[in-house]
Amino acid sequence: MISNFLFLISDIMQFPIENFRELTTPFYYYDMALFERTVKAMLESASNVDYSVHYAIKACSASEILEVIRRYGLGVDCVSGWEVKAALNAGIMPQKIVFAGVGKQDAEIESAIDADIFCFNVESVEELEIINLIAGKKCKKARVCLRINPDIDAHTHHHITTGLKEDKFGIQMEDMEKAVALCQQLHNIEFIGLHFHIGSQITEMQPYIDLCSRVNDLVGSLESKGFEVKNINVGGGLGIDYKEPDEHSIPDFASFFGVFKKHLRLRSGQTLHFELGRSLVGQCGSLITRVIYVKHGKEKNFVIADAGMTDLIRPALYGAYHRIDNLTSSSSEYGVYDVVGPICESSDVFVRDYKMPLTQRGDLLAIRSAGAYGEVMASQYNMRPLPKHIISAVD
């Protein structure tokens, strides 16, 4: 059995399929047709309710992905000045760019003000004052949303929660009113709304329902004090199905947006913004890697791949699970393997005790659902080259 994948890849690379063993690995493969279907499905669900959606560029910043984002008219969410530059270079309109991050440097702030982006999502009073200072030197007003930490448990891995009191992100709720009042006093700041982001890979809707009621309370209390909140940005975090990527290749956007439609009170003239990363791009990418050795140990059999934690760090960093398909084994028998990389770290393991068709040296594996937080997190540890990517033709 040679899977669909390999036909796609050999098609793109003009590579005769009989010679798959000579493909240079590892590399990321992005299924652009699936990506477009995902973006369309999301936009359909969001357009029923007229929401403004920003793609979180840090999930995957491949130029081909950004080109689709631009073509479909999405905005982008950036967390560094370099991401702002990449978005502008990709032709994204400045009015569609938002910029978050707890540690924005002066030079990053400066260039974002020069570019006249839609807004800064400001994470502290200290940052607010520096943005005011820099905007003042340029005789400009910077638009800001205040990122508020809503103290909501997203029930996800503790390394990817962002909205709990003890997380470093955002301004504490009890300091919100003072921060909004400060915005009114600072001459070069224009307060335009509130921003939230509670975490990532969130698969239950309850945390979002909790977020809605928290946002209702916070916006209500500001309005009762006479502050206008024109924009509400509820961030991203919608999860994907890492276990069954083919059965659930497109997340349930309708339910996700439905929660906000039902539970969030929007006044007329208020705009609701989202920042989606993983849910748009996660299922579209696979890391293609070759088996270097199958090592038979005493207790275990190891499949040693030529990709490692330098190419995809999620399993080592978060204990994340990725499904792995053997693209080239034709065996109807199964083995149980630890699939590991070649890096000199014990945490360089993709998955333990994993059942796969009998695998041998030279086989190609697809590590699935690797489109988000994959290629962008690659490093050169052990002096390895960064992985490249190829894309499928769009249908």
Ligand X SMILES: *Cc1c(COP(=O)(O)O)cnc(C)c1O
Q: Which residues bind ligand X (CB under 6 A)?
A: 56, 58-59, 77, 79, 100, 197, 200, 235-238, 275-279, 372
- The least CB distance from residue 373 to ligand X, in Å, is 7
Give the CA distances from residue 162 to residues 198, 201, 351, in Å, rounded to whole numbers and listed in that order: 5, 12, 26
- The least CB distance from residue 289 to ligand X, in Å, is 23
- What are the contacts of 95-102 at 24+ separation with CB within 8 A? 96/54, 97/54, 98/54, 98/145, 98/195, 98/233, 98/273, 98/275, 100/147, 100/195, 100/197, 102/127, 102/168, 102/169
- The least CB distance from residue 277 to ligand X, in Å, is 2
- The least CB distance from residue 333 to ligand X, in Å, is 38
Residue nearest to ligand X (CB): 277
HEC sequence for 329-345: CCCCCEEEEEEECCCCC
Q: Which is nearer to ligand X, 154 or 219 (CB)?
A: 154
Q: Which two tokens stand for residue 269?
A: 């003239």
- The least CB distance from residue 163 to ligand X, in Å, is 10
Which residues are registered as beta bridge partners of 272?
232
Q: What is the DSSP letter of 385?
A: P
How far apart, in whole angstroms, are the C-alpha atoms of residue 95 and residue 385? 36
Helix axes 125-137, 106-115, angle to 10 degrees: 60
Q: Which is nearer to ligand X, 68 or 339 (CB)?
A: 68
* CA Rg value for the chain: 23
Q: Which is nearer to ligand X, 9 or 69 (CB)?
A: 69
Q: Which is nearer to ligand X, 291 or 320 (CB)?
A: 320
Helix axes 81-89, 106-115, angle to 10 degrees: 30
Q: Which is nearer to ligand X, 59 or 291 (CB)?
A: 59
Cα 11 to the center of its chain, rounded Å: 28
Q: Which is nearer to ligand X, 99 or 337 (CB)?
A: 99
Q: Which is nearer to ligand X, 56 or 365 (CB)?
A: 56
237 burial via Cβ count (<10 Å: 0-12, 13-18, 19+): buried
Q: Which is nearer to ligand X, 146 or 238 (CB)?
A: 238
- The least CB distance from residue 98 to ligand X, in Å, is 8
- The least CB distance from residue 237 to ligand X, in Å, is 4
Which residues are registered as beta bridge partners of 76?
55, 97
- The least CB distance from residue 201 to ligand X, in Å, is 6
Q: Which is nearer to ligand X, 5 or 35 (CB)?
A: 35
Q: How many residues does the chain have?
A: 395
Handedness of CA 224, 229, 230, 231 (dihedral sign): negative
Cα 236 to the center of its chain, rounded Å: 8
Q: Which is nearer to ligand X, 56 or 92 (CB)?
A: 56
CA angle 307, 324, 305 (to 5 degrees): 25
- The least CB distance from residue 59 to ligand X, in Å, is 5
- The least CB distance from residue 305 to ligand X, in Å, is 25
Q: Which two tokens stand for residue 235?
A: 């961030």
